Amino acid sequence: MSMRALMIALLLPLAGSVTAAGFNAEKFVANNCARCHDSSVYTRADRRVQSLRQLDTQVRRCDSMVGTKLFEDDINLLVDYLNQRYYHF
């Protein structure tokens, strides 16, 4: 792969993650949510979130702590992602 093609391949996903359409939940969680807790809080035996509704509430609470002011659509994508990957409600 040429250097130019490599740069484009590396930069495109970054550019996409700032728009609602190109939102990548997995990357977002890894980059923004792992600062305070890693993914083990989603799977621990005594996890607090016990329903889809609580998951939605908690994601919003954490989003406002992070100060990222996510779009409504992106919040929903994050909730879907965490639910599919960890919670399975």
Please report whether residue 33 would count as binding ligand HEC according to CB under 6 A. Answer: yes
All residues at 6 or more sequence positions from 13 whose CB lies less than 8 Å from its CB, including other chains: 24, 27
Alpha-carbon span 33 to 59, nearest angstrom: 10
Least separation in angstroms between CB 7 and ligand HEC: 28
- Nearer to ligand HEC by C-beta: 10 or 46? 46
SS3 35: coil
Judged by CB under 6 A, how many residues of this single chain contact ligand HEC? 20
Query: Is position 42 an interface residue for ligand HEC (rule: CB under 6 A)?
Result: yes
